[in-house]
Amino acid sequence: MAELYYAFSFIRDSNEKPFTSMLPEALFQVARFILNKLGKKDAPYALSRVYTLFTLAKQGKALGAFKLARYAFDRLQHLKVPLSWTNQIDTDMITIQSKPYVDKEELLPVCFRCGATNPLVNSTTGGDVCVACGHPFVRSWSSFDHLPLVEFELEDGLTDNEAIKLLKTPPPIKRAGAKGSGGGAKRGAEDKWKETDHGAGVQTMSFGGEDNGEEDEDGEDTFSQQLMNFEGGGRYTAMKVSAKLLLAMKHTEIFVNKSPVKGVRAQFYRNMTPDIGISLCTTCRKFFHEEDFEFRILSGMKCLFPCGEPCSAFDWDKITGDEEEA
């Protein structure tokens, strides 16, 4: 409920105030988030579906989501709108008829777990989730963009603190050429150099294999392979991760979202695109684009929800895994 009211505050300000600090792309994402979250349920008190649909139609038309804008205008025809909006809505409905009945491809959200391209409004299963695998979309709470985060759970028997210790432990070094005698060790070290021919006269040399959070060649599933193990039809089942796979992961790509409530397990997320900087606020437990979060810190802003405390970034150097289990 707090998430919906926080998001709607931007929609309300954009319609009732002469100026807004949010960009059109952000308002578009906010409106999508609210409609997907509401689904077919009644809107809570003071949250206007009319305001949300009007914002979605206006920003969708400006950004090239013409199919979605038509959908929003059609929904508005069945709702009571302010009289001051009727002329603008009628004009927009006429002018949009000259536009193609499609949405810009770059606006369509892609699930970072299964890779499925999703519609802008989830009218199939409902919720702000992937229509194929059901994985919840994780948004930046400044721009409301989708973040490349995938949630995973621990295998049965693994505690949160044990998982944190495994993630902080350096992965084991794989030694090649251990078998044999004499110069076997030397030959093994030499074999770890790998030459790659990229064509056009470009060749590279690499030493050893890249640690991308995958298992070694023992027949076990890798993290990427496990991502594709889902039921389909929007039914969500979180993937399970073993202790061995945790040990092979880079902890810098993992976020541990701990609950302040005793007895509630922490949530583990992996950044599937490490080039995109992401920050987690440990106070309000929300994710942000790294640059937006740093701006909030430097501006002295408080947390999103009225807890009265400043934002605090998740830091692996401050998490030890030695806390007493709840």
70-109 confidence digits (pLDDT tens): 999 999 989 999 998 899 999 999 999 999 999 999 999 9
Q: Is the pLDDT of residue 170 over 50?
A: yes
Q: In the chain, which ranges are continuous DSSP H helix?
A: 2-16, 24-38, 49-63, 66-76, 86-95, 160-168, 184-191, 223-227, 243-248, 290-298
Give percent of the chain with pLDDT exceeding 90: 48
Q: Range(s) for CATH 1.25.40 in the chain?
A: 1-107
Q: What top-level class would CATH report for the domain 1-107?
A: mainly alpha
The mean per-residue pLDDT over the stretch 166-176 comes to: 73
Q: What pLDDT is attached to residue 231? A: 79
Angle between helices 2-16 and 24-38 (to 10 degrees): 140
For residue 53, pLDDT over 90 is answered with yes
pTM: 0.81
Please say if the pLDDT value at position 200 is more than 50: no
SS3 288: strand
pLDDT band at residue 55 under the 50/70/90 scheme? very high
* Residue 94: predicted pLDDT: 92
pLDDT at 263: 85
What pLDDT does 159 receive? 92
Mean pLDDT, the chain, integer? 82
Gap between the Cα atoms of 170 and 175, Å rounded: 15
Calculate mean pLDDT across residues 209-235: 64
Give, for 240, the enclosing helix (H) or strand (E): strand 239-241
Query: Quick one: pLDDT at residue 175?
Result: 52
- Taking residues 1-7, report their average pLDDT: 91
| Better pLDDT: 227 or 76 | 76
DSSP state of 140: -
- Give residue-wise pLDDT tens across range 274-314: 999 999 988 888 999 999 888 888 887 777 665 667 778 88
* pLDDT at residue 187, as a whole number: 47
